Amino acid sequence: MQRVFDPKCRPEEYQQQGKSYPFPDLTQELCPQCLSDLLKRHGFYSRWLCAIGFSGEIRIRRFLCKTCGKTVSLLPSFAHPRMSHSILFIIVVLSRFYLDEASVTQALKIFYQDTGQCCSRQLLGQFRKRFQENLNRLIMEIIALMRLKSPLVTAPVEKQRQRARQLLEYIQSLNSEDVSLKLFELSRTTYLTAIAN
């Protein structure tokens, strides 16, 4: 199981601090899976992160429930659960495709010009597919999350690219990492995938 937290720093600073980063302490919390024992610190694991202006391994703090044997990992909010690319990387590359109404080739060229980083056609295709599959759920969850009284997307259901563009415009008008963190806290879902317990 993963818990997302706001590290209040950029990936570079987080990586530099490594194990000495002041992680949230979950040792006074009951296991969220069995609710029968307190969590204990259970070391770290490393995972790869590709973010805008950063690529490298980061440390993830883990906690263990001795009763059920399951772990809880603390994931910084700039990292997307179960993906090696950061939230911002994903949102920016999707925005180049949807907001600029560009072809895949044009979107990747604009993304490279803006960030100095490459993204493959296949990776953008994977992001687009997952984002579009989650589009209606995301719209409804963000409306609930932000307690919006008027719809944030007005394009009809059959105009997926226009709906995606309107949602991305809204997400970018806020802070994509903050929205992702709140979305995960509310529904245990993310922009691209639902997280299985």
Chain segment 160-178, per-residue pLDDT in tens: 999 999 999 999 898 899 9
Q: Tell me if the pTM is above 0.85.
A: yes
Distance CA 197, CA 195 (A): 6
Is the model's pLDDT at 65 over the cut of 80?
A: yes
Report the chain's C-alpha Rg in angstroms.
18
| pLDDT over 70, % of the chain | 98
Distances (CA, A) of 144 to 9, 98, 150: 28, 24, 11
Instruction: Write down the domain spans for the chain.
Output: 2-76, 88-187
Long-range contacts of 156-160 (CB under 8 A, 24+ apart): 160/132, 160/135
Question: Tokens 């000495």 belong to which residue?
Answer: 20
Mean pLDDT of 63-90: 94
Give the pLDDT confidence of 114-133 residue by residue, as tens digits.
Answer: 999 999 999 999 999 999 99
Average pLDDT across the chain, whole number:
92
Catalogue the E-assigned strands of the chain: 2-5, 39-51, 54-65, 71-76
